[in-house]
Structure 1
Amino acid sequence: MTGLGPLNRGTGIAVWRQIAEWIRTEAAAGRFVPGMQLPPEMELAARFGVNRHTVRRAISVLTNEGLLRADQGRGTFFAGRAVSYPISRQTRFSEILAGQGYSPGGRLTGAGVEGANEILAAKLEVPAGTPLQRIETLRVSGDTPVLSGTSWCELTRFPGLAADFAETGSFTQCFTRAGLGGYARRETRIYAERATVEDARLLGIDLGSPVMVMEVINEDLEGRPVQYARSRVAADRMELVVRS
Structure 2
Amino acid sequence: MSARISRPTGAPLWLQIEATLSQEILTRQLTGRLPNEQSLAERFAVNRHTVRQAIQSLQHKGLVCIERGRGTFVREEMIAYRLGKSSRFSHSLSEQHLVSEVDIQSCHFEPADERVAQLLALDAGAPVLRVESLDLADERVVSVCTQYFPLPRFDGFIDIYRDSKSTSEAFARVGIRQFSRVLSRISARLPRPEVAAALQQGRQQPVLYVESVYADADGVRIEYGITRFGGDSVQIEVTPDTL
Normalising by structure 2, report the TM-score.
Answer: 0.66
Aligned Cα RMSD in Å? Answer: 2.0
Once residues 202 and 148 of structure 2 are traced to their aligned partners in structure 1, the CA distance between those partners, rounded to angstroms, is 28
In structure 1, the residue matched to 2:174 is: 178
Contact 1:107–1:165, Cα closer than 8 Å, also in 2: no
Pick which of 160-169 and 213-222 moved more: 160-169
Q: For 2:126 and 2:235, how far apart are their aligned partners in 1?
A: 35
> Alignment identity in percent?
25
CA distance in 1, matches of 2:219, 2:233: 32
Contact 1:108 1:169 in 2 (8 A): no
Query: 1-side partners of 2:73 and 2:139: how far apart?
Result: 18
Structure 2 unaligned regions, length at least 5: 1-27, 29-69
1:81 Cα deviation (Å)?
A: 5.2
SS at match of 2:235: strand
Aligned to 1:165, the other structure's residue is in SS state helix
Residues 66 and 101 of structure 1, relative CA distance in 2, 3 Å threshold: farther
Aligned to 1:102: 98
Which deviates more, 200-209 or 132-141? Answer: 200-209
1:108·1:162 contact (CA, 8 Å) conserved in 2?
no
Match of 2:162 in 1: 166
Runs (4+) off by over 6 Å:
64-68
In 1, Cα distance between equivalents of 2:72 and 2:130: 41
- CA shift at 1:80, angstroms? 2.7
Q: How does 1:207-218 map to 2 (within 5 A)?
A: 207-218=203-214
- The number of residue pairs the alignment matches comes to 172
Q: How does 1:128-147 map to 2 (within 5 A)?
A: 128-147=124-143
The residue that corresponds to 1:200 in the other structure is: 196
Contact 2:207 2:228 in 1 (8 A): yes
Unmatched 5+ stretches in structure 1: 1-27, 29-63, 69-78
Kept in 1, the 8 Å contact 2:129–2:151? The answer is yes
Q: CA deviation at 1:104?
A: 1.2
Q: Secondary structure at the match of 2:115?
A: helix
Give the CA deviation at 1:207: 1.6
Distance, in Å, in 1 between the alignment partners of 2:198 and 2:156 is: 25
- The residue that corresponds to 1:152 in the other structure is 148
TM-score where L is the length of structure 1: 0.66
